[in-house]
Chains A and B, each alone.
Chain A
C-alpha cells in the first residue's frame, strides 16, 4: 500500500504546531496503524530527523495509552477499537490519512500526538476508590454480590481511561469516564459506604479540571473502544442528585 499521512507536528506545548505530510512506503493491510507509524518513524530516524511522537504501550487495546484522532475520529474509523487495534486494512491504497492528537483544554499537548491526561488521575484521587487499607479486608466470600450487579459493575470497570470520550465530545466533557468509575464502585456492596461522597467529589474534581458539561450527544459512547454505554451517565446523575439532597438535609 502507498499511504500519505498528514500528521500534527508540534515541538512542545508552547510552540506552534502544523500539519506535515509524509509519504509512507511499504504499508500493508495486516499492519496495525501504529506499526505503519513505526515504519514512518524508522525512516525519519534513519535520516536523523525526530520521529513523530505518539503514545502507546500494550498495543492490544487494554492499557489506554494510545490516543490519536484519525481522519477526524478518536481512535479512527472502526468502532469499538483503540488506535493500536486499528489495522491498515481499514484504509485504501493511495489514501491520505490525517492524524491529530486528542484535543481538549484539560489534556494539554506535550509534543506532536502526545497529550497530558493526568487530569484523569486527579479525578480518581478525589474519590474513585474504596478506602480499605491492606489487611483490613474481610474473607472474600463473606459478602455475596448478586451476579447481575457484579456483571454491570464489570461493564463499567472495563473503561481503559484513554480519554477518547473527551476528545470526541464537543464540550470536552469527561462524563463517561467519571460515570463509569462511579458506577463500577457504587454498584458493589463494598462501595456503598462511600457512595455519596464519591459521586460529589469526583464530579466536583471533573469540573475543576476544566472538562465541559454533558449535553447528551452520545458521541462518547460511539467512540468508546470498550463500548461503555451512556446509560452510566444517567446513573451518575442520579447518584449525584441523591447525594446532593442528602447533603442539604
Chain B
C-alpha cells in the first residue's frame, strides 16, 4: 500500500489557497442529493455537521450522550489559540505554524499544520459571531493569555470554560440547522461498525442505546469525529464515555491507525487519591501563567509548603528552562515533574506530586484578579481535595490527557478508505508527538468549520460509488456481525466485570507505556495485554440483554476494543526506537533526560494496517518532508 498524503504543490503558505481554488465543487442544487453521516458532536463533529447542513447537504449526526451539547469537548478549560496578533507581540500565522511543528517535536505534517494556523483566524471570528462570550478587556476588545510552548499571548478564553462555550456555539449552530431541516440528530446512538461498499465508506451500523435496536444507516460519505482514546489508560482526564470504538471498528475494516503511541501526559492534574477513582481531573494549563511550580530542595522535607522559605524551594522549571519557565510544553513539564519525584522530592501522599503555587501572583495582583481568572478551577480543586489554593499551593501530578495519534488521514482529512473522513482528536494529523495547549480546540473547529466542508465536496463530486440502500448485503453482514458480538459478550457469563478488565489494562499501559518507555517493559506489556484480552473473552460478565439500555454492555464493548488498541499502542512505542515529544524511550535520551530524536530513521508517520485478528499488524510509513521548518533539537532553555 502506498500512502499518498495528497499534499498540494506550491509554496507552503499558498498551498491551501491554491488548493481551494482548484478543488471540485458540488453545485447548490446537487448538494441536497447527498447524505452525510457525522459520528460525534464534539467541537469537530458539531461544527462540521452544522457547516455541512448550511451548505445544503442532508446530515445525520450521531452521539453517545443524551444531547450533542454534552460531548467531551465541553470539559476543555483553558483556551483556544489563534494567530490574531491582537497584542502586537510578534505573533503571525508563520509563528503559530512553527510553534506547533516544534511543539510536536517535528513529527507532524507541515502542510496540514500551516493550514491550521491560517484558518485559526477565522475560527475566532466565527465563534465570536455565534455569541461565544470570550473574555474581553475594558475596551471591549478580546483578551488573550499565554499557554505553554509559545512566547506570545495568543490564547483566547471564556473564563475557565472555553470548551463549553465553544461547544455551545457549535451546538447552537447545529440546532439552528436541525430546525432548518438539514440536519437530523441521533443522540444516545453508538456506532458499532463501518459499512464498506466497493471499499468506499458508505454507512455505519448503530445501536440505539435506549431501545437496543441495531440498524444500518447508509450515506454518500462518513465522517468520524469521535474524539481521542486516552481512556485506554482507564484513568485519564477524559469523560467516562470517551472511547476508541468507532475508530477501532474502522481500523479493523482497513483504515490505518497512525502513531498510536503518541499519547499526551498533562503535567497539571490532581494526583490520584485511591483505587476507586473513575477519572482524573485536569487543572488547566492556563494556571501556569500565574502559578509557579516547585518542590522542596531537599528530599524528605516534611514541612508544610508555607513554612518552606524560598531558599529551600526548587522552582525547577524556571531553573532548568529560563526562557520559557513555567510555560514549557507539556511533555517537558511532565517529565521534569516525574524526575523530581523520582529523586524523592515529590510532595503529598506517596510523593507523587509537585506544588503549583499562586502566592507570588496573589501578592502581585491581589486575590480578586486571580479569582476572576481562575475561580472555577480553584473551586473544582477545593471540591475534590478540600484544600484552599488561595492559601496553600495546589498539588499536581501528570496524567494521561490527549491522543495525538489516531486514524491516518491525507491532506483532505480523508482516511485511506475513500469516503471515510476523520476530524478532530480522532485523526492524527496536526500535533505530531506532542500537542501544545489550546491547540485541540483550534484544530477541532478548524477541521469542522473550515477544512472538511471544502474537501468532502471534492470526494462527493467524483461520485465514484453511489449511496447504497440500507439493506445491501454488506450492510446486512455488518449488522449480523455486530449482533453476534453483543450476544457473545452477554453469553460468556464469567467472573470479572468489564471495569475490572479496563482497570487492569490501564495499569499495564501506565506502568509500561506511560511517561517513560523501554523495550523490555513494552514487550512484557504486549504479552500481558494479549493474555488479558484472551481472558476477557472467556471470563467477562455482562448482565442484562441487548434489547434495552444496558450500560454494562456498552462498557464491555468499549473495553474489548481498548484491549486491542492497547497492544498496538505498545507495539508502536516499541518500534519507534527514538524519543520524541511525549514518547520517551529511556534508551534514547540526552544526559539531561530530554528526548533524543532520530531524524534519519524515524522522521515518518507510523500508519498501522489491521491484517486480521491475531495476526501482526503491518507498518506503513509516510515520510515527513519539511520544506519550511528546520528540524532542530528542541530547546526551551
Residues of A within 8 A of B (CB): 11-12, 26, 28, 30-32, 34-35, 38-39, 41-42, 44-46, 48-51, 53, 55-65, 80-81, 85, 87, 89, 110-111, 114, 116-118, 120-121, 124-126, 128-141, 143-147, 150-151, 153-154, 157-158, 160-161, 184-185, 188, 190-191
Contacts and interface: CB of A to CB of B under 8 A. Distances in A.
Contacts of A124: 171-172, 175
A1 B122 CA distance: 53
B307 interface: no
A58 B74 contact: yes
Contacts of A126: 179
Contacts of B187: 118, 121
Contact of B66 (A38, A117, A130, A153): A117
A128 B168 CA distance: 10
B277 A130 contact: no
Given A51-B552, A59-B239, A154-B159, A188 B133 contact: yes
A144 B139 contact: yes
A205 B130 CA distance: 21
11 contacts: A41-B552, A63-B70, A85-B380, A117-B67, A121-B175, A136-B129, A140-B128, A144-B141, A146-B140, A185-B131, A188-B131
Contacts of B543: 44-45, 48-51
B210 interface: yes
Contact of A129 (B126, B172, B499): B172
B450 A30 contact: no
A121 B598 CA distance: 51
A28 B544 contact: no
B66 to A, nearest CB: 6
Contacts of A129: 130, 172-173, 175-176
Contact of A89 (B129, B163, B386, B551): B386
Interface in B127-158: 127-131, 133-142, 158
B383 interface: yes
A101 to B, nearest CB: 13
Contacts of A146: 140
B449 interface: yes
Given A147-B140, A150-B136, A188-B131, 12 more contacts: A45-B498, A48-B543, A57-B240, A118-B66, A120-B67, A121-B185, A134-B47, A140-B134, A145-B136, A147-B137, A153-B133, A190-B131
A233 B149 CA distance: 43
B126 A116 contact: no
A65 B551 CA distance: 15
Interface string B494-534: 01111110000000000000000000000000000000000
A31 B274 contact: yes
A62 B141 contact: no
A31 to B, nearest CB: 5
Contact of A141 (B86, B122, B130, B173): B86
A154 to B, nearest CB: 4
A38 B502 CA distance: 14
Interface string B71-83: 0101100000000
A65 B66 contact: yes
A224 to B, nearest CB: 14
Interface of B: 47, 50-51, 54, 65-70, 72, 74-75, 84, 86, 122, 124-131, 133-142, 158-159, 161, 163-165, 168, 171-173, 175-176, 178-179, 185, 187, 210, 239-241, 273-274, 276-279, 281, 379-380, 383-384, 386, 449-450, 453, 493, 495-500, 541-544, 548-552
A32 B280 CA distance: 12
A137 B122 contact: yes
A63 B74 CA distance: 6
B131 A87 contact: no
Give the one of A32, A38, A121, A160 with max B CB within 10 A.
A121
B133 to A, nearest CB: 4
A113 B103 CA distance: 44
B187 to A, nearest CB: 7
B235 to A, nearest CB: 12
B276 A35 contact: yes
Contacts of A111: 210, 548-549
A130 B131 contact: yes
A153 B84 CA distance: 23
A120 to B, nearest CB: 7
B141 A161 contact: no
B158 A56 contact: no
A55 B209 CA distance: 12
Nearest to B548: A12
Contacts of B175: 121, 124-125, 128-129
Contacts of B70: 57-58, 63-65, 161
B273 A30 contact: yes
